[in-house]
Every structure is written in structure tokens, then in C-alpha cells.
A and B are shown apart, each in its own frame.
Chain A
Amino acid sequence: MIGIDTIIQGVLLGGLYALFASGLSLIFGIMRLVNLAHGDLIVFAGYLILVGVSVFGLNPFLSALIAAPLMFGVGWVLQLAVLNRVLGHNILPPLLVTFGLSVILQNLLLETFSADSQRIPVGVLETASVDIGVTSLGLLPLLTFGSAIAVILILNWIFYRTALGRAFRAVSDDPTTASLMGIKPNRIFALATGLALVIVTIAALYLGMRANFDPTTGPARLLYAFEAVIIGGLGNLWGTLIGGMIIGVSQTVGAALNPEWQILAGHVAFLIVLLIRPRGLMPKQ
């Protein structure tokens, strides 16, 4: 039976997909780099948080707070040491490098943590809920959705209200002219990737608290992220949130009709949107 709660669950799930997608969108928007390792970086961050929780006994949120700057450092170094070398007019080298990175990450995680699926234990939060009359909402999905909105608000503020945001957009438009403004494009790219991996950490926290993950979980998260970005229209973070919500609702409705249809329904919704609006729902002019 499809009730209002099914729809709301889907909408809230969309927040998680928007979190997956925001980091991907940030990197693509600034340096036209499609990061095929994005999903695996989410899973990597998930394990990092898990180590904090299971080895050091930290609260998951505290563990994520510690993981976030570490992931920023990973992004910074990754960009300066590897990705900056392959950026250019040809889009193939970055694709190949991030694909390779994806394979390396998956195998590294498999070696370190085995193929067993894991979950970040959350205690009471897992079942806590808020009663809103018509239905009751899980506290965790609500937190996820709220975090997605907060991330988008903060990113938009950075982009359109700060000098860093001006530098992001200037470098994205024209790196050579940006360097004539005193901007170092490679540093800006490193900052952007670092920031994207902070968002990846937030996504990993909610993914890991919501569902099981293992070293091979990444590519499917990448796919949802891509779909959310493309449904929403490239370069529009609110569009990405809408995209995430469309996939989320399709999945929960699909699952309510028949549990086998859950994943398929999300992909079908994506294809339908592409058929009707090839440039996404809210394309940037």
C-alpha cells in the first residue's frame, strides 16, 4: 500500500542521495572532472568513521567530526599529487585515473576490512522517531535530510557570497585569467576536492548508519549521485536535491509495490526524466 509515509520516506531518502551527489557536483562544476571514485571515497570515509566508533569507542557523530578534516587532507593531497596532473582539455585521462583509484580503493578496503558487510552502530537513534500526526518519521532520516539542506545552504553561501566562491567560479570559467587575478588554480582545485571530501564524510556517516556497506558498495552510490545530479540539472544544487528526492520517492514507491522493484524504479524514473527533460529539471542557463 502506498501511503503518505511511503512518499515521505522517499523524500527523506532523497536527502541522502543529495549528499552523495553534492561532492560529485562540486568537483565537476569547478574542474570538469568526473570523479569515478566518488562512491568508493564515500565507502572509504564510512570505514574511517567505523574505525573511530568500533576501535576507539567514539560516538558516530564525533567520529565523523574527526574523519572530516582527515578526508579534507586526503582530497587536498589527492588533487595536488594526482588529479591536477591529468586535468586538461582531454577528459579521458581524469576518467581513467579516477577509475583506477576506484579499483585501488575497493581492493585496499577488501584487504583491510574483509568483504563482510559493516554498519555504523547508532544505538537508540536507529529506532527513534518523531510523531507528526499522519505518520511518524524516523529521527535518522530527518537528520539526514536536514544535513543535506544545511550542506546545500552552506555550499551556496560559499559559492555566491565569499571570495573563495568567486575564486571557484573564476577558475571554473578561465584558469589562465584567474591566475592573472593572483589566484593559484591548482590550490583552488585542491581546496575544492578537500571540501568535496568533507561532504563525502557527511554522506558516509548517514549511509553507514542507515544501511550495511562493504568494500564494493561504492559504485552503486556513485550511480545514484550521478542520477541525482543529472535529473536536477548540472550546476544547480537545489536541483540535485530535487533529483535525489525523485529517485528516493521512486525507490520507496517501487518497493511498496513490489520489493524487487525498489532499485529498478529509481533508474526508470531517471530515464523518464532524461526523456522528457534531457538537460535536467533545473538546468543552469
Chain B
Amino acid sequence: MSYPIRRLLVFPLVMFGVSVFVFVAIRLVPGDAITAMLGTESGLLTPVQREALTVYFGLDQSWAVQFWRWLTGVMQGDLGISTTFGKPVLSVILQHFPLTLELAVLSMLVALAIGLPAGIYAATRQDSFADLAIRVVAMIGQSTPGFVVGLLLIFVLSVGFGILPQMGTFVPFSEDPLRNLGQMILPALTLGTAFAAAVIRISRSAMLDILREDYVRTARSKGMPRGRVVWRHALPNALIPVVTLSGVEFGYLLGGAVLIEQIFALPGLGRVVLDAILQRDYALVQGSVLFIAFNFMVVNLLVDLAYAALDPRIRFESK
């Protein structure tokens, strides 16, 4: 059986595993939707009142029944109703996903725009001062957690320069592209810089490897200009690991960047899940985690396929 087909067969199995895992996990969390909604005032409820709420939140059924209902619902594309939003879970997810997607795309762009040129430049100028400087910066960038970068950015910009990104009501790109970009630029930079460091390191070392390959040396010795060698021969091959790396990172970013969304007040998928956990919105936690896991696996599958397509040397069977 070929590798992609095997992966596809495993797909539903893993999704089922994720469903069971998240279903059980969220119910093991102490406290329920009633305490989350009423706080200490829930102590004033009479038993009848509590019973009524239990039925309302669907907590009166056994786990098995709840799971079966949920699973059959999912099969029909119904992820349930979010108790905090009072809307179908799917529509809540689809409302917040565009932001997460946009943030993922923008941070990838930032990372590639900074990382690729810097990495390739460093490789072509190996051991020069510029190379060293780029690598030091990359190493430091890679060692600084994203949320620390975000905190420092906000601190320096708002305290030092008195400027700040638009943090107000989030405006979708389709409504007002300029305002939207104004809101997204800092979080995208924050997520992008850490990842740019990774892109620098990987593109530089891939480029160096290739520049040392025989065919490149041959081309050079035949008098082909250095620039052309780099652009025509080396670059396409050096891009392979970058594509893989970016793909997998993209898969992670689609899950929402919880800490960054929290710091920059962005209503993305990460914050939805975090709030849903805190408010014990079971259906929303289940639905969104499943959605995130699904995206992650699809992206990874695509990355693997792309990797195989780009690099004929790869034989999945050999692993």
C-alpha cells in the first residue's frame, strides 16, 4: 500500500482518538458550566433550580449517551451548540477561524520575507561578518519565546514611543484591509520573527550543502556566474527543507497561538478554546479541538506529499 493511502486510512482513526481524548479530558476538568455561569451565586440555587440547569446544559445524561449523541452529530456535520455563544459550534469556529488563518499566513510571510533572504545571503557569504551576525541574530531570535517577544514589543512601542497597534474591535480583512493589517501587523511580526530565525538557519545550511554539491561546483568551474548558479541551481533545491518546515509550522499556527492572541487581544481560535475551557463550554472545546486537529493533520499530510513530490530521492518505504 502506498504511503499517502496508508496515511489517509489512518486519518479517521486518529480523529476518533482525538475525539475520545478531548471528550473525556474536558469532562475530567473539575467544575461545570453552572458554576462557570453563576459563580458563587450558584450556592443560592435550590435543588429544583440546579436540576433545571443540569438539564439545560445537557449534563443530566451519562457520558456514554453524551458522547454517542455528539459523535452522531459530528458525522452529520453538527458539532453541537456552544452554551456561551448560544450559537452552533461550527458557526463560532468559522467566525473566528479567518483571523487565525490570516495570522498564520501573515506570520509565514514575515518569516519567509526575513528568513529566506537572510539565510541565503549568509550562505553565499559564508564566514563573513554578515554571516556571523545573521547567525547570531537567528540563534537569539530562536531562543526568545514568542510571548516574550510580544511583551517586549508592546512595552517598547507603547511606553517608549507611545504607539500601539489597533487593538479595538477586530475588523476582518474583507471589511477594511488597512485597518485589519494595522491590527495584525504586530502579532504577525511577533510570531514571524521567532519563525524567521528558524527559516534563516535551515535555508542557510541547506544552501551551503547544495553549494558544495558536485554539480554546483561543476557549473561554477565552467564559468557560470555565481548569481546564476545560486538562483538557477541552488535555490530551488535549498527551498525543499524550507517548504517542509514552513508547512509544518503553518499546521501549528492554524491551531491558534493562544499566548499571542491573549497578549494582543485577538479573537482567534486559540482564545476561543482557552475561554471555552475556562467556561466549561464542552461542545465548543470538543468541536474546536477537533477542528484544529483536523487542520493540523491535513496540512501535515500535504507537507509530506509535497516533500515527496519535490525531492525524488525520498522513498517513504525506506523509513
Determine if chain A interacts with chain B: no
Binding site for A on B (CB under 8 A): none
Binding site for B on A (CB under 8 A): none
